[in-house]
Amino acid sequence: MRRLYILLLIALLLTACQTAATATPASESSQTEEDVPSDEAAPEPEQPTIQEADDDNEDEEAPGSDNTGGPAATDLSPQTVSLTAADDTTLEGTFWPSDEETASGIVLMHWAPGDQTDWSDIALELRDGWGYAVLAFNFRGYGGSEGNRNDRMGMVQDAAAAIDFIKTLPNVAPDSVFAVGASIGADGAVDGCQLSGCAGAVSLSPGSYLGVPYSDALAAMSSTPVLCVAAEDDGVSPTTCESGNTAGTADYSTQIYPGRAHGMALFDQDGLTPPVLQLIIDWLQEQAEA
């Protein structure tokens, strides 16, 4: 009996030990779960701040683009253009668009020894410094333009076509277009304005080179402001400018410089007061304020 009692006591003790052994892993597992950070306990991400900055920028247009992802409405790069004279002669040109919402336009007409590229630096100055939209082109027979450069009356049509053309370009005020030319372009400026109409013309070293007497062209555009520029020893140019004084033009002015520089060479002449480009810009600004 005593032996049986001892065996029962041993059995009870073994059962108690097995129960405690199985309870220990459950307790350890519960403790481990408490040590793992929950989603609520994790540090808050920076995403809300980043998202707010993105929202602020959604309505801002990136420089040089529009809000559709395409190019800017006004691309300021020089643009190669093609225009057609009244006799269907195709002319090549270069257009420097302005970033102004509405800009005055200037047509630049080259001289006989050169082509439209002679005006490139001046075109940039007029556009970047003063906000003008600028068109230069090659007369017929020059550069990539069709036709014969000896067709001087045809060049009158070229000048008129260029003035008409710039009036159709974006951001250009059609009632505020000026023509500026040197030598044959000096005559082209007034001859073209006579046919197509313009807000004013500047002639550098004219000489009635395109077959139309300079004073006759002025008389036909008597209400249009004109500035005529020449060097006193440059052949017929100074007397051609002086002939305009009797043409009956309401707003006609002249600037006669010393020396013999002709056409585009006037821009390179040292010691001229005021410098030719400054003279032209001042005159254009006066017309804008008139």
Asked, for residue 2, whether it belongs to a domain, the answer is no
Asked, for residue 228, whether it belongs to a domain, the answer is yes
Quote the distance between the C-alpha of residue 11 and its chain's center: 101
Asked, for residue 209, whether it belongs to a domain, the answer is yes
Asked, for residue 198, whether it belongs to a domain, the answer is yes
Phi-psi region of 226 (alpha: psi -120 to 50; beta: other; left: phi over 0): beta
CATH of the domain at 160: 3.40.50.1820
Write out the residue range of the structural domain in which residue 144 sits: 79-289
Asked, for residue 19, whether it belongs to a domain, the answer is no
Asked, for residue 254, whether it belongs to a domain, the answer is yes
Mean per-residue pLDDT over the chain, rounded: 82
Query: Cβ(236)–Cβ(207) under 8 Å?
Result: yes
Q: For the chain, what is the domain count?
A: 1
The radius of gyration of the chain's CA atoms, rounded to the nearest angstrom, is 41
Closest by CA to 277, choosing from 148, 124, 160, is 124
Asked, for residue 52, whether it belongs to a domain, the answer is no
pLDDT digits (tens, 9 = 90+) for 193-215: 999 999 999 999 999 999 999 99
Query: In the predicted model, is pLDDT for residue 74 greater than 50?
Result: yes
Query: In the predicted model, is pLDDT for residue 72 greater than 60?
Result: no
| % residues pLDDT > 70 (the chain) | 74
Give the predicted TM-score (pTM) of the model: 0.75
Predicted pLDDT at 93: 99
pLDDT digits (tens, 9 = 90+) for 48-60: 332 333 334 334 4
Predicted pLDDT at 16: 44
Asked, for residue 212, whether it belongs to a domain, the answer is yes
Closest by CA to 139, choosing from 129, 154, 125, 127, is 154
Q: Amino acid letter at 289?
A: E
Q: Amino acid letter at 58?
A: E
- Rounded Cα gap, residues 239 and 230, in angstroms: 9
The residue assigned the tokens 């710039």 is: 166
pLDDT band at 288 (very low <50, low <70, confident <90, very high): confident
**Mean of pLDDT values over 234-238:** 98
